[in-house]
Structure 1
């Protein structure tokens, strides 16, 4: 940079951030002026965060020396709420020029001061009209600061109320009166019974009983607790159909289907079945009981057919009736056969069965795991039993003798 430009920049443009460099003429010694500089100078932006190269020949005016970068200032303004947001900011104090706009303590006006820290000043506006309560007996005289509430009145409220019960609350400035608490008698929502000592403002009273109203299907009744509105607010009746099935007589149990026949589904009702002697008893699904009876009937018919081949007659009617289907039986097992044999033997020997001659009721019951251990090592199980027996006998004698 020529010396004259350097001096001019120092004298005329003192606020420009330039990395000053003195460039020398690169030509051979000559007469006259050196001419414009062909090199460049490094110029910083206002905030000093970025630099760029500027040809020295173009540095002639102050406008050409101004360089504004695209960096946006993120510092908080003096209010502490807003950010500066200015490009290439060089401000030391970031003053906020926005209007505060917060509601004042009166709740009617907004703060018109520049955005600031802390709470807003109280509303300075005042009224010169008298401020009275609703009935007009209590009065506040002007000047009245903005936001002042009406005076408290100790007289009874004179507003028009929805009911005709006596008024117990005082005059108030709120538009809506407190709810009436006068005790009355009211019907519950389902019109089941009349309840006493109910505050007047309560509308929906439930007695806690089942609704029991007839549903539109004309078959079922509402099972909900006393409620308001329609019993079936959404959809149709979903209670199980109670019509008997044609095959087993149990209820259909499908969702209510008024106007249509019962769907053909598997019966899931529980039935109690037992063996012929009555020892075995189980509760099974109706469909499984029917299948077992069909197997029983097939076996019985097969045995009857073998008798027919020998010239005997057979009546298969009882095997196909619903009554026999309901009398489905379990098959007797080996223990049933043992009990039947003991019963016949006691009857033949004229022994009283109540005395338990065959030690049936007092028979010890062993677990499957103990039986399995006895099959594997009977000697070891017997020794353990003897030791336990001896321990019980010693406990009964009130002393113990443990081997070391």
Structure 2
């Protein structure tokens, strides 16, 4: 800073080569008061003393200064509140609202604390959540004012060569090709094909048309070409191999397949020594849980049926009720019923006890009784059904047929058809679809005639899949015709197969459709309704009583 020509003040400009400007306080240069609102010419007219040197004070106009201060905001600028004066304006006594750098938050401070422009802003604690230009990372800067959000990180992703990583700043899109190269020859595995240097990094070995010359596990012919992979393709040569369970030698098996299942049951003896493995041909041990859970096949001492409890070879069979199903029949063989063995045995014990009590009563009266048959093990567990009145009637008819020397073909006493009675439930189901019942009867009649006239002792017929109600009708009709009926498959393809047996199957004398038609024909016709005119007002009380006493007929109430 150099002294000005006046010798009283210093140059306030930045260093410059030109001569300094004259002193700005010279009387000829100062034209206004310090605040700049009033010219000095007006002040001199009002009696103010004139200035002669730069050291003389500039006259004040006496008004409020009003110069803008550095505090405040764009909308409300603070001004100096002092009277017109020389020098710098004093500190502001008001407060200013300042914003953070990103303009997210504001706060209020006294203007005396805002000494510079740096004090007019502050940094908040908000982190920027915008994506950077790379599209992979977030900005995450505090009180961010950046608009481009360039990513300062290194990309670091693997290049296409698979050996090096991208060293450029994090970016969008694919990385550039690896710039490194090799100056060694690149050959295939056998060396027949060569790529000469320079070889760009990541270049795959050249393709070769020669047959693979590597050492293989098997001695089968090699059909694949030379390759750069570490492992050769699996051998597909067809050969013979044993299945996992050593059940059979399978042919046309590719060489690379090791574990082959023949699909047959394993049938290996389990550690219990009683059962065999029921799993299909498999690898490894037969028992997964190392415990056999198959039902015990040891015969019970009382009934002879298998124990059926879980395998317990190391301990005796538990005492449980036998759940096996047995067929009971009466002495004449007409009645048959399926029951559980334990229930049938308890029923026979009750009958045997009653018979034993009657025999003891006879012994008390002095009669001799043979009780050996009542207490044998075989008789105790041989349960039977009791014959009913229909069995007795059938026996009487047979005796009459034998007494009159009547052959089986004529059957005048209706011996065969005595048991061919249509149940009420069967009639009720048949009324819903008479045509279906008629077709089923025709098929069963043809089946019975074919087995009685043909050479085979059995013949079967398979009905198409049908609903449950139709299958029930077929099962009930099969019992009437003496046919064996079994349902196969699952819904909705479940069907019924009936089998006729020579000597057992026979057609009933009357069909179910014939019985239902006779019942319909035997019904009385509905009465003719009496039409009465509204003009007939002479009906007596006697006619009303007759009409009231007439019974109401329900023509849909069919009793079989």
Query: For this structure pair, what is the TM-score category when the shorter chain's length is used for normalisation?
Result: 0.7 to 0.9
Structure 1 residue 178 corresponds to structure 2 residue 233? yes
Distance 2:347 2:387 in 1: 14
Matched, 1:216 2:271: yes
| 1:387–1:116 Cα change, 3 Å | farther
1:336 has 2:391 as partner = yes
Change in Cα spacing, 1:141 to 1:323, as seen in structure 2 (3 Å) is: same
TM-score, normalization by structure 2: 0.59
Counterpart CA distance in 1 for 2:383 and 2:279 is: 38
Provide the alpha-carbon RMSD of the alignment: 3.5
For 2:424, the equivalent position in structure 1 comes to 367
Question: C-alpha distance in 1, partners of 2:517/2:280?
Answer: 65
Change (3 A) 1:47 1:327: same
Aligned equivalent of 1:304? 359
Measure, in 2, the Cα distance between the counterparts of 1:8 and 1:208.
Answer: 96
Tell me whether 1:226 sits opposite 2:361 in the alignment.
no
Cα 1:338–1:63 change in 2 (3 A) is: farther
Could you say what secondary structure the match of 1:8 adopts?
strand
1:62 CA displacement: 3.9
Larger radius of gyration: 2
Distance 2:387 2:421 in 1: 22
Cα distance between partner residues in 1 of 2:191 and 2:523: 99
- Kept in 2, the 8 Å contact 1:252–1:267? The answer is yes
Query: Structure 1 residues 158 and 289 mapped into 2: Cα distance closer, same or farther (>3 Å)?
Result: same
Change (3 A) 1:7 1:57: closer
- The match for 2:521 is 386
Which of 246, 253, 260 in structure 2 is aligned with 1:198?
253
Structure 2 residue aligned with 1:8, among 67, 70, 76? Answer: 70
Whole-Å separation in 1 of the counterparts to 2:290 and 2:67: 92
Tell whether 2:140 aligns with 1:78.
Answer: no
SS in 2 for 1:251: coil
In 1, distance between residues paired with 2:426 and 2:191?
95
Structure 1 unaligned regions, length at least 5: 11-16, 372-380, 391-404
The residue matched to 1:239 in structure 2 has which SS? coil
Higher relative contact order (CA 8 A, sep 6+): 1
Distance 2:76 2:421 in 1: 114
> 100, 103, 126: which is aligned to 2:155?
100
Partner in structure 1 of residue 102 of structure 2: 47
Q: TM-score, normalised by structure 1?
A: 0.80
Taking the aligned partners of 1:335 and 1:129, their CA distance within structure 2 comes to: 107
1:137 is displaced (CA, Å) by 1.5
SS at the partner of 2:69?
A: helix
What is the rounded CA distance, in whole Å, between the counterparts of 1:55 and 1:325 in structure 2? 116
Give how far 1:352 is off.
Answer: 5.6
Poorly superposed stretches of 4+, deviation over 6 Å: 2-5, 31-35, 381-384, 387-390
Aligned residue number for residue 22 of structure 1: 78
In structure 1, how many angstroms separate the alpha carbons of the residues matched to 2:157 and 2:67? 54
